[in-house]
Structure 1
Amino acid sequence: MKLFFPVIFATVLLSGCADETAKPDEPAPKQAEETKQPKPQKPEQPSAREQAENELKQTVSQMSTAEKVDQLLYIGVTGTALTEADRRLLQQHALGGVLLLGGNITSSGQLKALTADINEAQTSDQRAFVGFDEEGGRVSRVPDARLKLSPSLTYGQKNDPELMEDVGQTLGSISRFYGFNMDFAPVLDVNSNPANPIIGDRALSADPQQVARLGVPLMQGMKEEDIVPVVKHFPGHGDTTVDSHVGLPRVDATKAELEQTELVPFKRAIQDGAEMVMVAHILFPALDKNRPSSLSKEVMTGVLRSELKFDGVIITDDLVMGAITERYGLAQAAGLALENGADMAMFSTPGAYASVHKEIMTRIKQGKLSAADLNEKVMRVLRLKQTYDLSQTKRVDEYQRLIEQVKAVESDMRH
């Protein structure tokens, strides 16, 4: 009965309501509030970032395949002044980058004139990266002794992140002074093998956590001066006993050991905004039994992209090193590198542009490098170029101030 009464009661109420129909001459009740349609909303305007990305896609869609390949090449030039051949190359092709080594440098005046010439020779809106290796210590291209810094290990012993940021800013200022917009530093290798012939005091420490702790502010300091930092040499050159300039080093550490040592600083740098990573010419059988890191899909696409979630630009170390040339032709190596995950192939051999470009174009036609993959690589390169001022507008010309800046960080390191 408790259930039956409410049902009967409800039925009676409903019956009563049904008898109270509206008279024919009475309008039906208004239901304006219920039937009111929501006003159409204006489409949201794209954010500045989305707009820049859309413009970038538009730019890439208008480029020919040959122009896209140009953006993936980081080339060397001949001698201490631009040859007519190098000048024509820069005028006619929007290249990804130009690398200067010790053989291109004799004096401060000469170096500044050369970088200015490289900048002026470019006719495309897509400026080239102009980079060099300026780490301080043994690996320094600076021709003026008063602007040279101590080795990284010496600074690392101070164990001061704030000092490392100052060092990064100083490296950035020096780079700008000489007309560069990129520095292949900092070194994030762990100095884990005393028998290592190539890294040694170029590393900040033998402790991977300390390398991470000090390497990241060094990287950030360079960024503050609008210099693109390139962290190197992924996945780690610290435990090698062979110089990759001469032969192919091999590291037999397990994947777990690599994750606890070599990969630690790179993982931290990527989490803290690293935008460009240089991959070394080293064989890591635990990652890839057959190919050196710079040509390995397992290393670049597997570990660096998929596992460490790096979405910036991957560049090879110089492909003319013995570690590569003993086993591969230069054009073949460049093609393999790009197919397997690199965004930029770097080679310092002057005059090699045509053969490398032709090889990559052939691989694209063969379907070894897909159109989608090619576009993604070009997008990453151009996105990074848009992030920095690649022109000479921020060139630093206060020579005396630079000398004082170098003196200050050297003094802070010693006290």
Structure 2
Amino acid sequence: MRAFICGLKGLTLDADERAFLREASPWGVILFRRNVESREQVARLTDEARGALGRCAPVLVDQEGGRVQRLTAPNWRAYPSAARFEAAGATAAVAERLAWLGARLMAHDLREVGIDVDCLPVLDVPAEGSHAVISDRAYSADPARAAKLGRAAAEGLMAGGVAPVMKHIPGHGRARADSHLELPVVEASRAELEAVDFPPFAANADLPMAMSAHVVYTAIDPTAPGTQSKTVVNDVIRGLIGFDGLLMTDDLSMKALTGSFRERAERAIAAGCDIVLHCNGDLAEATPVAEGAPLLAGKSLARAEKALDCVRAVEPFDVAAGLAEFGAAMGVVA
């Protein structure tokens, strides 16, 4: 089992993908809209992937609500973006209840089709003038509110047997560029970062998984994006923030990173990331990523095993009652 997660090409596995999964043995796979057609089809695909891997591997998805929702209408409910919870709650407690409830309902949807890891909550704190890539995907511009709303969402997922992945540690909210397209450079002082960007992650440092940011923080390490920076990973993420869970990279195919795909993977692992992520399903890229990813072992293996503890049990939940409550407040319908 290797320290990487890969995307899949389409609605079903072809022979090349089956062989790749069997031979490369990624820790898990991640689904996107290109992999989603219907409930029955997604359930078959998750079974196929696990069958090819020969184990009950984690299946990930980015199901945030709003602009980032891979399982969409008409087969799944449309969920609101993270920013709407703060606006909808008459009190902080009501907003947190709604964030929990939305995530709990999403967990129910995901578990039905064999998905057990959701890349949520987004704990980035959007700054004025930053790129719209985060914007309403974030819970609040107030770090304390973002921390509590994100925690509520994470707890909702875990109650439904789905492991959360907080992102994008240690913070993408100040970025003035989209890391999918270019490398963002954040020039805020360390004091500013420690006051605003890092606290939501520190408050949730006990969560099982986190996804790194492909962002350069000049006050911390001007030479490398966080994903590939030993200083960012060791001093900030593991040290100051105190996160000791499973650290995965954001997608290695994003244009923020340079070098060959093997080099991208090797640099991230050398910096201290536990697992590398490659999303687009292109085996010509995924193969060198796999070659650059080591066998999952030591602390990284222990973190990976612990990260999945919360997927093994689903707490009792009245879906109909939960949907009625959520729908009344947020406008989501069955």
| TM-score of the alignment, normalized to the shorter chain, above 0.5 | yes
Amino acid at match of 1:410: G
Equivalent of 1:150 in 73, 77, 80? 80
**1:412 matched residue in structure 2:** 329
Can you list the C-alpha shifts for 1:236-271, whole angstroms capped at 9, x where unaligned? 11112211111011111111101111111101111x
Q: Which has the larger radius of gyration?
A: 1
In structure 2, C-alpha distance between the alignment counterparts of 1:190 and 1:357, rounded to whole Å: 33
1:301 corresponds in structure 2 to 234
Instruction: Specify the alignment match of 2:30 in structure 1.
Output: 99
Q: Tell me if the contact between 2:24 and 2:290 (Cα under 8 Å) persists in the aligned partners.
A: no
With over 3 angstroms needed to count, the CA separation of the structure-2 counterparts of 1:384 and 1:104, relative to structure 1, is same
Q: Distance in 2 between matches of 1:147 and 1:177?
A: 13
| Structure 1 stretches lacking a partner, 5+ long | 1-66, 365-372
The answer for the alignment partner of 1:274 in structure 2 is 207
Write the mapping of 1:146-185 to structure 2, written as runs, cut at 5 A: 146-157=76-87, 158=89, 159=92, 160-185=95-120
| Ranges in structure 2 where 5+ consecutive residues have no aligned partner | none
Opposite residue 301 of structure 1, the aligned amino acid is N
Cross-structure match for 2:251 = 318
CA distance in 2, matches of 1:219, 1:263: 17
Give the root-mean-square deviation of aligned CA atoms: 2.5
Task: Give secondary structure in 1 for the equivalent of 2:266.
Answer: helix
SS at the partner of 1:99?
Answer: strand
SS of aligned partner of 2:60: strand
Aligned residues: 323
CA–CA distance in 1 between the matches of 2:68 and 2:319?
19
Q: Which has the higher helix share?
A: 1
Paired position in structure 2 for 1:375? 298
Give the counterpart of 2:40 among 87, 109, 116: 109
Q: What corresponds to 2:185 in structure 1?
A: 250
Distance 1:332 1:92, change over 3 A: closer
Say which SS state the counterpart of residue 187 (structure 1) adopts: coil
Residues 148 and 406 in structure 1, CA contact (< 8 A), matched pair in contact too: no
Does residue 1:225 correspond to 2:160, yes or no?
yes
| Letter in structure 1 aligned against 2:302 | M
1:89 matches 2:31:
no
Q: Is the 8 A contact 1:80 1:104 kept in 2?
A: yes
* Percent identity of paired positions between Structure 1 and Structure 2: 29
State the match for 1:24 in structure 2: none
Aligned to 1:214: 149
Contact 1:133 1:140 in 2 (8 A): yes
CA positional deviation for 1:128: 1.7
Q: Deviations over 1:88-133 (max 9, x none)?
A: 3334454211011122223333222212222333324xx3210010
SS of 1:215's partner is helix
- Rounded Cα–Cα distance in structure 2 between residues aligned with 1:197 and 1:164: 22
Which amino acid in structure 1 is aligned with residue 83 of structure 2? L
